[in-house]
Structure 1
Amino acid sequence: MVFAHIGIIVLWLFLFCYIIIASIDFGAGFFALHAKITKQDKKINHLISRYLNPVWEVTNVFFVFFFVGIVGFFPDSAKYFGTVLLIPASIALILMTIRGSFYAFENYGQDSKLQWLALYGLTGLFIPASLATALTISEGGFVIQKGNQIDLDWVELLLSPFSWSVVFLAVISVLYISSGFLTFYAHKAKDSKAYQLLRYWFLFWGPPMLAISLFVFLSLRVQNEGHFVTAVTDYWWMFLLSLICFTVAMLFTLQKKWHGWAFILVIFQMGFAFFGYGISKLPYLLYPMVKLDHAVVNDNMAIALTISFILGLLLLIPSLILLLKLFVFDKEYVEGKK
């Protein structure tokens, strides 16, 4: 039981790291597309390319670790999620393939054709929308089990307010997180034109982010009242801290200062909300069919997996920090001098 909790914490950390890093990547692609369409690409696309070139290849490493880990630690989850998420996961995989392929065309071709950039930008919104289906389904009410047969109730899923609120939250979160980082990056690069545009986008997406988060909570009360009650009764303080971080980050950006701290607060904002949601959901991985203590593998395998994934986390995070330090945050590289 102890290893089950350690395992889910480590996996949740992997997923959170993926959400932050991938959101910056996904949102940057959409902003590049928007700038191209509105004839503002000369303002920001060079800045976006300088960020994406060193790090886009490592974005999915955290997701792969999470996916392998959830199947390794909790085999029962693979039985249910593997069946009901076959179509959404396949769509996400196809979109990731398209995104990776067209990234090469868009960045290494002779010019940035709109068709290539459109595929690159739009997939950055469709991927999180399709992956968000997993969180929706995990709240229960969408899986039909008759004996050994497991099916997804597509009608219920498509008509559910909670389902659509999670999808919109995923998309808006991508744009919010990405614009927050790129605002800081443009300020660090001393690129005033890009900074003004990206700061506007960060301030623009802040209020919708807050509104859709509130709507997710309200719709969760209808979808899974037990989870909602636990969240607002036992872990309300985590969501309050998330709101405080959001407010301070917005104030820093309005005052045009401390953009690095503003983005750190964005990370903490998302972290408090994400872990508050995850902790309040326990012990269920898929309500009410898969519980944390029943789905975990035997102790020996759990110990081996826990050690492996902790070592993986300790290797990946310093490697990412080193990559950012050597390239993304190198003063001459940021300012486009090399």
Structure 2
Amino acid sequence: MILAYIGISVLWIFLFCYIIIASIDFGAGFFTLHAKITKQDKKINHLIARYLNPVWEVTNVFFVFFFVGMVGFFPDTAMYFGTVLLLPASIALILLSIRGAFYAFENYGPDTKLVWLAMYGIAGLLIPASLATTLTISEGGYITGTEKHLDLNWTELLLSPYSWSVVFLAIISVLYISSGFLTYYASKAKDKPAYNLLRYWFLIWGPPMIAISLFVFLSLRLQNEAHFLNAVSNYWWMFLLSFICFIGAMLLTIMKRAHGYAFVLVILQMGFAFYGYGASKLPYLLYPFIRIDEHIVNSSMAIALIIVFILGLLLLIPSLILLLRLFVFDKKYVEGKK
């Protein structure tokens, strides 16, 4: 039981790191497209390119670790999620491939074509939307059939308010997190035109993000009442802290002060909400089929996996910090002087 909770905690760290890093990446792609269409690309695209060039290739490493670890710790997830999520996961993989390919064409080709940029930017929003389907389905009520023949009730999924609210939350959260980081990055670069535009976008996407989060929370009661009641009864304080962090980030941005601390508050805001959701969901990974305490691998394998994945964290996070310090946040690099 303890090993199961340690294992899922480690995996949740990998997933959270991926959400933050990938959201910055995905949102930056959409902002690049938006700026191109609205003729504002000269204001921000150079800034976004300076951030993406060093880090875009390492974004998916955290997701690969999470995916491999989930199957390693809880093998039954491969059967259940692998069957019912075949179509959404395939769509996500295709979008990731398209996005990576067109990112390369955009950066290393002789020119930037709008079609390439459109596919790159739109894919960045559709990827989190398709991956969010996993969280929707994990709440139960969408899987039909027996263990030998599992199927996904597409009609129920497509008509579910909870399902669509999660999709919109994934998209809006990407834009919110990305604009929050890029506002800080523009302020650090002392790039006033980019800063003004990105700050405006951050302030615009903040209220819709809170509104859709509330709708997701309320619609969860219709989808999985047990999860909703557990969240309200035992983990309300985490969601309250998340909202307080949101208010703090908004106030600092409105006052045009301490944008670094504002983005730290954004990370804390998403972290409290994300971990509050995950903790209140336990012990279920897929309601009501998979419980972490009943479907974890044997103790020896679990201990080995925990050690390996903790070592992976100890390698990946310092490496990412080093990459950011050497390139992304280097004073001359961030100001475009090298």
Aligned residues: 338
Q: Write the letter of the residue equivalent to 2:149.
A: Q
Unaligned runs of 5+ in 2: none
**Correspondences of 1:6-21 after superposition (within 5 Å):** 6-21=6-21
Structure 2 partner of 1:62: 62
Q: Can you list the C-alpha shifts for 1:146-176, whole angstroms capped at 9, x where unaligned?
A: 3511000000000000000000000000000
Structure 1 partner of 2:2: 2
**Correspondences of 1:177-216 after superposition (within 5 Å):** 177-216=177-216
The whole-number CA distance in structure 1 between the counterparts of 2:208 and 2:147 is: 43
Structure 1 partner of 2:333: 333
Structure 1 partner of 2:264: 264
Specify the SS of the correspondent of 1:122. Answer: helix
Structure 2 partner of 1:27: 27
The whole-number CA distance in structure 1 between the counterparts of 2:101 and 2:82 is: 26
Specify the SS of the correspondent of 2:150. Answer: strand
C-alpha spacing 1:147/1:308, structure 2 compared with 1 (3 Å)? closer
The whole-number CA distance in structure 2 between the counterparts of 1:112 and 1:201 is: 24
Q: Write the letter of the residue equivalent to 1:262.
A: A
Q: Can you list the C-alpha shifts for 1:190-216, whole angstroms capped at 9, x where unaligned?
A: 000000000000000000000000000
Q: Write the letter of the residue equivalent to 1:218.
A: L
Structure 2 partner of 1:310: 310
Structure 1 partner of 2:217: 217
Q: Write the letter of the residue equivalent to 1:106.
A: E
The whole-number CA distance in structure 2 between the counterparts of 1:147 and 1:191 is: 57
Q: Write the letter of the residue equivalent to 1:213.
A: S
The whole-number CA distance in structure 2 between the counterparts of 1:243 and 1:199 is: 20
Q: Does 1:93 align with 2:93?
A: yes
Q: Can you list the C-alpha shifts for 1:225-273, whole angstroms capped at 9, x where unaligned?
A: 0000000110000000000000000000000010000000000000000
Q: Write the letter of the residue equivalent to 1:103.
A: Y
TM-score (structure 2 length as normaliser): 1.00
Q: Write the letter of the residue equivalent to 1:52.
A: L
The whole-number CA distance in structure 1 between the counterparts of 2:112 and 2:248 is: 37
Unaligned runs of 5+ in 1: none
Q: Can you list the C-alpha shifts for 1:105-160, whole angstroms capped at 9, x where unaligned?
A: 01111121111110110000000000000000000000012351100000000000
**CA positional deviation for 1:2:** 1.2
Structure 2 partner of 1:165: 165
The whole-number CA distance in structure 1 between the counterparts of 2:186 and 2:216 is: 32
Structure 2 partner of 1:240: 240
TM-score (structure 1 length as normaliser): 1.00
Q: Write the letter of the residue equivalent to 2:329.
A: F
Specify the SS of the correspondent of 1:295. Answer: coil
Specify the SS of the correspondent of 1:65. Answer: helix
**CA positional deviation for 1:286:** 0.2
